[in-house]
Amino acid sequence: MFTQSRVAIGLAALALLGGLAAIYVPTSRVTADIDRALRQEDDVLADALKERLLLDAEEDVRALGILADAKGLDGLETVGEPMRAAVRVSAVLVTDAAGRSLHTYAASDTPGGISRTLTVKAMAAQAAATPFGEVARGFVLAYGQTYVAAAQPLPRLLPGGKTGVIFVFTRIEHAVMARLSEDYGLKNLDLTQQAPQGDSPHLPLYDASGRVTGYLTWQATSPAHAMLERLGPWIGGVVIAVGAILALLVAVTFRAHRKAATAALANQVLEKADRAKSLLFANLSHEFRTPLNAVIGFSDLMQRETFGPLGHRKYAEYIGDIHSSASHLLGLIEDVLILSRYEASDGITLNESVSLDEPVQDVVRMLAHQAAKKGLKLVMTPISAPDVLCSDKAIRQVAINLIGNAIKYTEAGEIRVSGGLNVREDGVELVVTDTGIGIPDEHIERVMRPFEQVDDVYARKQGGTGLGLSIVTSIVAHAGATMRIESRPGKGTRVTVTFRCAAVAAQPVPQAA
């Protein structure tokens, strides 16, 4: 009887292991296919990122080419550096068709010898041979740094009607890589000079001669295999613990695998949706910010009359309107991108231990001039309190939006900023009080939603997207904080944000006796 029981248990265990293997093998194949598709998607994103860098340089050189063609070679001697600063590139170079440097305008952190590289000479020859309006573009390695470059021919720029070539160079910095990593959803995006070892994902960057100047690298993610690794020990424990009840264990295991596979596919769909959203906003940011920066930079040059007087005084008014409107539109786009960035980080908590006083004081100093222009008094009482759980950048964003709203909707009086420890709620408060138009009780909940404003003539006159309080609400939710708004129409508004106290959160939870 005992021998028969052992044989039955052994057969049950073998049958169980066979059933689990029959489930695990096809599941592994499916997860491998998912990982392979994700890696291919990352390659497509990296290629789109490279094309974006080249398009930025192409747009910059076209804009500068228009001004260079208008001013001529002699005129560039006085306006070359303002042109470079307006378009915000590392260097601007003018050469002849053979690549001999005629003028170089470089930022302080850019080596002037960049004009003597062989790649520049090759690009000059390539650009001079192309029809007018065409642009040569590529990447340049100079003095250990990688630059994205573009060159455009300018017929009749040189004496005797000879063709000249204008270049722009933009250094690919660590901050640029970090921003692009966030925009395109490529984890740990970096630029290296050496080819990665093994099968690590990478994309080579080529110069105009076809030589490799560097490699874009990023970290390959494998969520499907990570899921299987987490499930492995659990499956082994189930086999050992309940091997005697074969039928029930097989049913439970099959159901668990089916749920896990469904969850994995759902996660992949959500991840792709998030990447698509990030790519959409990244492209929108590129499409809007690049022309707006050019409009702002060139209108600023015209306001300063860098190239000479504008003539009729009405032109000066129109240029001022163009500059202020473009700056306003750029600010609205930044607000939309900030809100989308925090909304895309669902489930992430801001948990850094930071001081509340220093970032808020910085914001008050930054906005003091804006308040003074309206004749308002902006006063801050130092916040003497323990550190809070959030992040320095998020606290600054909260302070900018709350104090900026107070200045925006206050015509006379003062804005007070204060804070301190709230013992009753075990948190630290940031309080912003103004003497502005106020908000009716029935509208307080509405103004915290995106693109909502109080339906008031004065409020409408101020313009804006209505995203200020929505951004604050999103940050407060991610930081585990709370926000309270108290307001009376015509009397003013008091906004209180209570952050979690870092010291309280770090205390161990007492165990029951």
Residue 245, pLDDT above cutoff 90: no
Domain that holds residue 411: 348-506
How far is the C-alpha of 41 from the C-alpha of 278, rounded, in Å? 14
Domain boundary at 302, 330, 358, which?
330
pLDDT of residue 416: 93
Identify the pLDDT of residue 155: 84
Residues 459-480, mean pLDDT to the nearest whole number: 70
pLDDT at residue 222 is higher than 70 = no
Q: Is residue 46 part of a domain?
A: yes
Asked if 26 and 46 sit in the same domain, the reply is: no
76 found inside a domain: yes
Q: How many domains does the chain have?
A: 3
| CB-based contact 367:403 (threshold 8 Å) | yes
Residue 509 has pLDDT above 60, yes or no: no
Q: Using one digit for the tens of pLDDT, what is the confidence trace for 181-215? A: 777 777 778 877 777 877 778 888 887 777 887 78
Digit-coded pLDDT (tens) for 23-48: 566 656 666 666 666 667 777 777 88
Q: Is residue 340 part of a domain?
A: no
Q: Give the 3-state secondary structure of 321-356.
A: HHHHHHHHHHHHHHHHHHHHHHHHCCCCCCCEEECC
Q: Do 126 and 270 belong together in one domain?
A: no
Domain shared by 276 and 412, yes or no: no
Give residue 1's pLDDT band: very low, low, confident or very high (50, 70, 90): very low
Contacting residues for 83 by C-beta, under 8 A, at least 6 apart: 64, 67, 68, 76, 92, 105, 301
295, 330, 365 - which closes a domain: 330
| For residue 148, pLDDT beyond 60 | yes
Indicate if 51 and 22 belong to the same structural domain. no
Averaged pLDDT, 415-423:
88
| Same structural domain, 246 and 386 | no
Domain assignment present for 502: yes
Which residues lie closer than 8 Å to 118 by C-beta, 6 or more apart? 209
| In a shared domain, residues 49 and 33 | no
With a cut of 70, say whether residue 235 has pLDDT above it: no
Reported as a single tens digit per residue, the pLDDT across 74-125 is 777 778 888 888 888 889 988 888 888 888 888 888 887 888 888 888 888 8
**pTM of the entire predicted model:** 0.42
- Domain-located, residue 81: yes
For residues 486 and 429, is the Cβ–Cβ distance under 8 A?
no
pLDDT of 244 over the 90 cut: no
Same domain, 492 and 414: yes
Which of 220, 95, 225, 222 is CA-nearest to residue 165? 95
Q: Is 101 part of any domain?
A: yes
- Chain-wide mean pLDDT for the chain? 75
335 domain-assigned: no
Q: Report residue 460's pLDDT band, with 50, 70 and 90 as the boundaries.
A: very low
What was the pLDDT predicted at 13?
63
The yes-or-no verdict on residue 237 having pLDDT over 70 is no
Side-chain half-sphere exposure of 305, counting CA atoms within 13 A = 9
Q: Is 175 or 237 the better-scoring residue by pLDDT?
A: 175
Q: 56 and 149: one domain?
A: yes
* pLDDT for 495: 92
The reported pLDDT for the residue numbered 227 is: 54
Q: So what's the pLDDT on residue 415? A: 93
3-class SS shares of the chain: helix, strand, coil, % to 5: 55, 20, 25
Token couple for 287: 């499409």
State the pLDDT at residue 433: 94
Q: Is 101 helix (H, G, I), strand (E, B) or coil?
A: strand
DSSP string, 116-174: GSHHHHHHHHHHHTSPTT--EEEEEEETTEEEEEEEEEEEEEEGGGEEEEEEEEEE--H
Query: CATH code at 151?
Result: 3.30.450
Question: For 262-305, how does the pLDDT look when each residue is reduced to its tens digit (9 = 90+)?
Answer: 677 667 766 666 555 555 555 555 566 667 676 777 777 777 77
513 pLDDT higher than 50: no
Q: Any idea which of 10-14, 98-102, 168-172, 497-501 has the lowest mean pLDDT?
A: 10-14
Per-residue pLDDT, 169: 92
353 and 501 together in one domain: yes
Confidence of residue 512 (pLDDT cuts 50, 70, 90): very low
| Gap between the Cα atoms of 18 and 58, Å rounded | 60
